[in-house]
A = this chain, B = another copy of it.
Amino acid sequence: MNLENYLKKKRGIIEKALNGYLPSVKTLPISLHQAMRYSVFAGGKRLRPILAMASFELVGGKGNAILPVASALELIHTYSLIHDDLPCMDDDDLRRGKPTLHKVFGDGMAVLAGDALHALAFELLSETKNPKLISEIAFEIGTYGMVGGQAADLQAEGKKVTISQVNFIHSHKTGSLMKASVRAGAILGGAGGEKLKVLTSYGEKFGLAFQIIDDILDATGKEEKLGKRTRKDQSRAKATYPKVLGVEKSKKIATRFLEEAKAELKIFSDDGEILKELADYMIERMD
């Protein structure tokens, strides 16, 4: 299948689901619901839900059981961006080509919109009736995962860092939720053993490469194309691969992680088609 068509189709499905799950702007508190919807529908790539859906289908999952989880993963990602953009964190005023939430609704409402999305994600996750999966996702977005990575990122600002510290930040801040997304799809699709193991490894490598590429694009990309401010990492002295190893070497490492991720998929027929093409798509994104 053509990847662009696949992504478009899945984005349509996930956005319809998100629209159904998010509270209506006709119910109280109206501003909070407007704020939640503003950020969720600001035009994300829906990469985490797509990773979950592709993984679910790859292992033979059928039907809509993946939708609440895929939506929850996007809500979690959105909440983390909202909090990360706050003035007391990364202080970003532009995201996906639009003013960030706190610029429009104020910092207090942005904190609360993030918190409400966080809670709603767990309401959706509980629809799986799989407490072990709920626990795993809570773990991966907590202090030993996503939030831990953000804290390490915040603390590393302006300091001299080693590549192993950058790896800690990336694998937690970004890698944990991506790994959890691929795993959630696989688990709900009924995979265990070897299949779950290789998909876990795919998710880890994909996540690490994603963050390296994100940092490369911050260092080399154009604002109008990316829809967000660039050269931020340099101005905030962020711990990134390009900072520690330079852009060219970082590109090589990201490519290697993605090639390794693809190689994990060889146990599947078609080499895991969509997940393989997603990795190639990430490599192309760097050019």
Contact = CB atoms under 8 A, between A and B. Distances in A.
A109 B23 contact: no
Interface stretch (A112-120, A214-222, A245-253): A112-120
Please tell me the size bucket of the interface on A: 35 or more
Contact of A147 (B32, B80, B107, B154): B32
A199 interface: no
A151 B29 contact: yes
Given A118-B115, A119-B141, A119-B142, A32 B134 contact: no
Interface stretch (A81-89, A187-195, A201-209): A81-89
Interface string A231-260: 000000000000000000000000000000
Interface in A45-93: 79-80, 83, 86, 88-89
A28 interface: yes
Interface string A108-141: 1111101110111011011111111011001101
Contact of A154 (B88, B109, B128): B109
A110 B116 CA distance: 17
Given A116-B143, A120-B138, A28 B148 contact: yes
